[in-house]
Structure 1
Amino acid sequence: MRVVFHGENAASFSHGFAELVGKEAEIQLLPDHLEAGADQKAYAEAEVIVGVKFDAGLPQPAGLKLFHVPGAGYDMVDLGALPASAAVCNCFGHEQAIAEYVMAALLARNIPLADADRRLRQGDWAYWAGAPERVHGEIAGQTIGLLGFGHIGKAIAARAKAFEMKVHVANRSAVPASALVDRSFTLDALAEFCGSVDVVVVSVPFTEETRGILSAAAFAAMRPGAVVVNVGRGPTIDEQALFDALKGGRIGGAIIDTWYRYPSAGDSHPLPANLPFHELSNVLMTPHMSGWTSGTISRRQGIIADNIRRRFAGEPLVNVVRASA
């Protein structure tokens, strides 16, 4: 079987992959831009492609059996341009890492370990127990709102419950109350959902229906001290509305990991937005890192290797985005 890892992102999953998929696999790493004739030929002859994008500008892999996205999002894959013979799958395995990121960020907002350490090194006992003016916050008793209740939302809910938080969910379909969910809303009640929580975590996938789902109206409905966390896709939050809410102090703050601008061939070090979020003191900015851990890579490798084995053995695939013809 001829397996191609296309691009830098996909290549991250190639290390040690031969041991997982078997000796019969011929594995080749190709760059993001297929300029060399040999690279174009290898891509066109691949039976399996692991990559984050596909469009009509790439060589047509006529014998392709499986196109595997090494992540959850496949918005850069033109499904209609792929040959009908190819099944398309994605994979998750990032929800553990993202849930830890969310909880770590929320804990850091409430428990100022770094500031306490910095001050004590200077003899400043600013957070010393024993006086009410020196207390710091805690997340127990707060209500976390999960906009989206897929793999990521469920993983966050489990960890939030361990910290004694209340969990509210807003989802396309109704989510029944359970040990993890205290209250749920459908998306037509988004304003009510936003007004019921202390934290809004956005993890919905990016589609035309979710573009700007958190709008100025949603921010207007939020509690004054509310915190917004985006670990989904940048454009699911209206950029101008978010900036205005933060700059104007309408909400308490934001933790943003997914953005509106990313590095490109023409600009390898851009600021991550069209508006100056970097000038705001109430936003924590990280470079789309929440799910990128060694554990994520290992789990996704296992899923990809297993699906390759299944495809060539004629067994049912997992995480199917589009079945083969």
Structure 2
Amino acid sequence: MHIQIVGLHAPNAPRLRELLGPGHEVEALQAFPASGDIRADVVIGNSINADEAARLQCRLVHVPGAGSEQIALSSLPSGATVCNVHGHEVPIAEFTLHAILEHVLQLWQYPARLDADAWAAAYANRAQHDEADGKTVAILGFGHIGQEIARRARACGMHVIAVTRSGKQGAAELAHEYVAVSALDEVLARVQVLVICCPLDDGTRGLIGARQLALLPSQALLINVARAEVVDEQALYEALRDQRLGRAVLDVWYQYPKKGQPPVSPSRWPLHELPNVRATPHISAITPALLDRRYRFMAGNIERLQKGQPLLNVIHQAA
């Protein structure tokens, strides 16, 4: 089978070759050709525009992650199947728990080097820090990621509110409350932490705007490990700048660098300049174990395609 890995994941072509073994051609491409048909049995990539999708002649488009919002699904040729892959929930949950504990422990207020010169003053001026225990966290989106976050938050004694589309009651061992997204406003005033881990779609884009941010307590922590656009960009900046929102840990951004284009800031607003923002470059899921899990899954799906077996994690079937 002929497999093309395109864009940011192209360097992982050797990993996939090793997993698939002989009988498969794995081609690494920095970008699709500018014109002409794009022929392969399988295309792996997380960004395919409408023009590229229309020129595809393939059986399987495999997204090397969970989100498919950058795939022009409606332009794909008839018969093409689109699958995604998870495996990122554990590192993202650990990242999120670290962000919560960092927020309550506030270790940044102590000297980086506790030597003889700093020791006396640091000891004399010790400030109280807070505790995660007893705090309330609302988790917006309660899929693979949200549930792993909930497990860790509950282990720290936190009260967990799962915010889902339907609000349907789920496992009691995961969340203390299940609330529909339509009732989100009623939840925000009583949480100390809001974690955003929902998909980006027409229903969630801009879901957290100025009004929702104003409902949060002034010392609340917002963590976004989903997609930046779930939170209104300007409203977030102004709430943090004016200290109407305590802190934010942002691992996802509104603008991303693109090869061959001028450098861009991660946001159109200077979020990175604010002292109450912890900015990370979309790293929450990146671990060696994640890549191993994901590529083993994709290799398995490619083998299923070759054998005519049902594919796993099908998210779209082009008509």
Provide the TM-score with structure 2 as the length reference. Answer: 0.92
Match of 1:218, SS state, is: helix
Counterpart-to-counterpart distance in 1, 2:42 and 2:139: 35
| 1:169 maps to 2:162 | yes
Deviation track 1:183-221 (CA, whole Å, cap 9, x = no partner) reads: 121111111121121100111111111111001111121
- Aligned equivalents of 2:291, 2:121: Cα separation in 1: 41
How far off its partner does 1:288 sit?
Answer: 1.2
Tell me the amino acid that sits aligned with residue 132 of structure 2. Answer: I
In the alignment, the residues of structure 1 paired with residue 127 and residue 140 of structure 2 have an alpha-carbon distance, to the nearest angstrom, of 34
Moved over 6 A (4+): none
Do the aligned partners of residues 248 and 154 (structure 1) sit closer, same or farther apart at CA in structure 2, a change above 3 Å counting? same
Describe the shift of the 1:268–1:159 C-alpha distance in structure 2 as closer, same or farther (beyond 3 A): farther
Give, in angstroms, the shift of residue 119 of structure 1: 4.7
Counterpart residue number, 1:13:
12
Aligned pairs (5 A) from 1:7-46: 7=7, 9-34=8-33, 44-46=38-40
Q: Which residue of 2 aligns with 1:159?
A: 152
Question: What is the correspondence of 1:71-90 to structure 2 with a 5 Å cutoff?
Answer: 71-90=65-84
Pairwise mapping of residues 208-247 of structure 1 onto structure 2 (< 5 A)? 208-247=202-241
The 8 Å contact of residues 12 and 297 in structure 1, kept in 2 or not, is answered as no
**Alpha-carbon distance between aligned partners in 2 of 1:10 and 1:234, rounded to the nearest angstrom:** 21
Instruction: Say how many residue pairs are matched.
Output: 316
Q: Distance in 2 between matches of 1:126 and 1:161?
A: 36
- The Cα offsets for residues 21-68 of structure 1, whole Å up to 9 and x where unpaired, read as 231111111112525x8xx67xx2210111112234227233x11110
CA distance in 2, matches of 1:115, 1:14: 44
| Alignment match, 1:138 | 131
> For the Cα contact (< 8 Å) 1:169–1:175, is it kept in 2?
no
Q: What CA distance in whole angstroms lies between the structure 2 residues aligned with 1:120 and 1:111?
A: 17
**2:118 aligned with 1:123:** yes
Q: In the alignment, which residue of structure 1 is the partner of 2:244?
A: 250
For 2:303 and 2:240, the matched residues in 1 are separated by: 49
Distance in 1 (CA, whole Å) between partners of 2:120 and 2:204 is: 46
Within the candidate set 289, 307, 312, 1:295 is matched to 289
How far 1:222 moved relative to its partner?
0.9
Q: Distance in 1 between matches of 2:11 and 2:94?
A: 21
User: Taking every aligned residue pair, what percent have the same amino acid on both sides?
Assistant: 37
**Partner Cα separation in structure 1 for residue 120 and residue 173 of structure 2:** 40
Cα distance in 2 for residues equivalent to 1:83 and 1:289: 33
Which runs of 5 or more residues in structure 1 are unaligned? none
Contact 1:127 1:135 in 2 (8 A): no
The answer as to whether partners of 2:6 and 2:44 remain within 8 angstroms in 1 is yes
Measure the CA separation in 1 of the matches of 2:211 and 2:273. Answer: 24
Q: CA deviation at 1:114?
A: 5.4
| 1-structure distance, mates of 2:108, 2:217 | 27
Unaligned runs of 5+ in 2: none
Give the Cα–Cα distance (whole angstroms) in 1 for the partners of residues 11 and 187 of structure 2: 38
Question: Normalising to structure 1: TM-score of the pair?
Answer: 0.90
Aligned-residue offset at 1:267: 4.3
Change (3 A) 1:265 1:141: same
Cα distance in structure 1, aligned partners of 2:190 and 2:295: 39
Q: Structure 1 residues 148, 286: closer, same or farther in 2, change over 3 A?
A: same
Instruction: Provide, for residues 104-127 of structure 1, a one-character-per-residue CA deviation record: whole Å limited to 9, x for no partner.
Output: 122222334455351513433566
Q: Which residue of 2 aligns with 1:61?
A: 56
Q: Answer whether contact 2:111 2:122 (CA < 8 A) is retained.
A: no
Of 288, 296, 307, which aligns to 2:301?
307
